[in-house]
Structure 1
């Protein structure tokens, strides 16, 4: 009986280690035609999606997720960073209490994303990211939640001053001091580097160098970098971040892709067919723990962008068309999450 227990325990451990990484979806709300959060939550639950990223702690959304068991990744919006940074751990705790914990249990929160694409893209807020992270982390410490809820900040690929080939990548020199402080915090708190990865952008902006096949996981041209072989742009981008961290002495920090996706309309190569091919590959690789050439067998946790189209998005036309579901709840294309 005792031996049986040990082998069962060992099996459980093996299962835990090899369990697929969560496949999440971003629930963006920059639109005027979305169903109410309760309907969105029904849709998410019906499709067996267990991990959702919210870009801000919207009270109605949090209340709708409360009690569902769905794990949330919650954004602390850029414009909130100055006041959180200027305050204390106590005021940060009050912020968490009144914006998040009053609406939903800490058990349902996986990550706090403190600022989205601030470095280089939203430089006004850059000085506030690290102090805000420190205050929020201290607040979580006083609540004994630092093991349950991990804190990071989501970065755009533009923080890499060079990313091709991946092994030559490095961080942009002008943001390096703040990034090093962030990496030090991530290592000390066992938290991931969060990055937004869009092969679609790379493809449409650099068509003379980037093939559609490489962006869509269709092995066209292979890239051999040092002794590693790449057949797609997603892997190249994720590994570029890992090499850049390596260069600074932080190569062991895990990477979570907080946004990735493909538009269905509004731009070249934007179609439901291509969106399905891209997202299906990302999902399958996460479920099978394929990892990347530099970290083979270590599944990359991803959040697909986006639950619905967002018709009030600024920028290029295609930015409005990343929805996996229509606002009527019907899938835009037949993507499976399992």
Structure 2
């Protein structure tokens, strides 16, 4: 009985130590007064943010987030989509220059090809087919590098790709977009990649304040909105997500699971004189509820058990962004590092939890903790361990130079020793989830540092 109790406590601690709250944020850089990428990366490590989406492949940002324990989604700018769509060799050149130099130290888990590409004006002369061709070319490049399971290809859409969004159960894609959306959704299903949508209840409320209740847009209407098929929606974001879900099903994908990611959602703290709902109080309410939703592991009325990944928009107010005042005021922080309003980003699994987080002068930097490693079980079957070693140093994307003949971790020249180094590197790259240290039952999580001499095992 005592042993069972001890095991129960250990498993509970393991879940605490290896699970980080899944909340993402968009990190835009259209400002001339923003903190350095290194400062941003260091400070985010003390928060519940574990995924960051950027809008290019800024090398300073990619370098700053190396060994941070934070996953990155990078982007192909809209202006580069046509070029990458032209051939696999062009896509390979882009990957070799923009991505390859930074992995695996920087955990890049996704490439967003374009941003709301299909919603661009006709004057921009953008071919919709170039979008899917660029996605396919980049996927072929990832396949050739054995990185297709680590890095997923997708493209963020605006809600404008729908013919209508209400009622959610009757939503379809715009007729003119049916062919390209069919190709894109087929690609996402075949590659197990998420459908990304930028969903903003704020804009729906701003444009229809007499028909959309403010509390419904702010994720808090308990009375609910009823769909003809019986679904009840207590907030607009769920309705928008299910509208996308219905549109996907209408293409004939009802029997295939397509994961939906909210790649952008937020609320501005300031707007033009007529945008009365753009206020710090409303922004705080929306984003606080959005964070809670992202952490809830709950789905939507149509798919209550399908967790939705959510990326808040945005980290900073961006004073050089085009458009109206609200476009420049979606940030949680001002350019000088001060908070626009108070939203709790503290991480219960990080040292310094409930600390006063900020980017301004005097802000503290704390690392995610506690330290934990993954190693091979001492008595695991050697053939299984060898297979794990081959996977980690091959398709798994681990940099195994340290266990090569001239590396610091070559000795002892034993399969279990080399596999332990590779398994730990893979485990750290993927966020220290307990399932990333399973390896067909041959892995073991440990709180004792396995480093020795000049051989250093990484930890986040």
- The match for 2:331 is 323
Q: Is the 8 A contact 1:279 1:335 kept in 2?
A: yes
- The match for 2:109 is 110
Runs of 4+ in structure 1 over 4 Å off: none
Q: Structure 1: any 5+ residue segments left out of the alignment?
A: none
Aligned-partner SS, 1:116: coil
Alignment of 1:310 onto 2:315: no
Q: Structure 2: any 5+ residue segments left out of the alignment?
A: 348-460
* Aligned counterparts of 2:331 and 2:195: Cα–Cα separation in 1: 25
TM-score (norm 1): 0.91
* Aligned counterparts of 1:285 and 1:228: Cα–Cα separation in 2: 18
How many residues align structurally?
329
Stretch moving more, 244-253 or 170-179: 244-253
In structure 2, the CA distance between the partners of 1:31 and 1:125, relative to structure 1 (3 Å rule), is farther
* Aligned counterparts of 1:106 and 1:174: Cα–Cα separation in 2: 42
Return the offset for 1:61: 1.3
Return the offset for 1:285: 1.5
Alignment of 1:101 onto 2:104: no
- The match for 1:224 is 226
- The match for 1:333 is 341
Q: Is the 8 A contact 2:42 2:68 kept in 1?
A: no
Q: Is the 8 A contact 1:43 1:329 kept in 2?
A: no
**2:261 pairs with 256, 261, 264, which one?**
256
Question: Which one has the largest radius of gyration?
Answer: 2
Return the offset for 1:298: 2.2
* Aligned counterparts of 2:333 and 2:244: Cα–Cα separation in 1: 30
Stretch moving more, 150-159 or 214-223: 214-223
Return the offset for 1:220: 5.7
Stretch moving more, 120-129 or 289-298: 120-129
Return the offset for 1:125: 4.5
What does 1:45-84 correspond to in 2, within 5 Å? 45-84=45-84
Alignment of 1:283 onto 2:306: no
Aligned-partner SS, 2:45: helix
Alignment of 1:294 onto 2:294: no
Q: Is the 8 A contact 1:265 1:321 kept in 2?
A: yes
Q: Is the 8 A contact 1:65 1:104 kept in 2?
A: no
Stretch moving more, 66-75 or 186-195: 66-75
- The match for 2:372 is none
Aligned-partner SS, 1:327: coil
Aligned-partner SS, 1:119: helix
In structure 2, the CA distance between the partners of 1:40 and 1:106, relative to structure 1 (3 Å rule), is closer
RMSD value over aligned CA atoms? 2.3
TM-score (norm 2): 0.68
Stretch moving more, 260-269 or 237-246: 260-269
Stretch moving more, 218-227 or 28-37: 218-227
What does 1:1-338 correspond to in 2, within 5 Å? 22-88=22-88, 90-105=89-104, 108-123=107-122, 124-219=126-221, 221-225=223-227, 226-251=229-254, 252-266=257-271, 267-337=275-345, 338=347
- The match for 2:406 is none
Q: Is the 8 A contact 1:20 1:287 kept in 2?
A: no
In structure 2, the CA distance between the partners of 1:48 and 1:166, relative to structure 1 (3 Å rule), is closer
Q: Is the 8 A contact 2:156 2:197 kept in 1?
A: yes
* CA deviation vs aligned residue, 1:2-24 (integer Å, no higher than 9, x gap): x98xx98xx79xx69xx787211
Return the offset for 1:117: 0.2
Task: Judging by fraction of residues, say which structure has more strand.
Answer: 1
* CA deviation vs aligned residue, 1:97-132 (integer Å, no higher than 9, x gap): 201221342760111101100113355142310110
* CA deviation vs aligned residue, 1:11-54 (integer Å, no higher than 9, x gap): 79xx69xx787211100111111122112222222324211001
Q: Is the 8 A contact 2:298 2:305 kept in 1?
A: yes
Return the offset for 1:71: 0.3
Aligned-partner SS, 2:196: strand
In structure 2, the CA distance between the partners of 1:273 and 1:319, relative to structure 1 (3 Å rule), is same
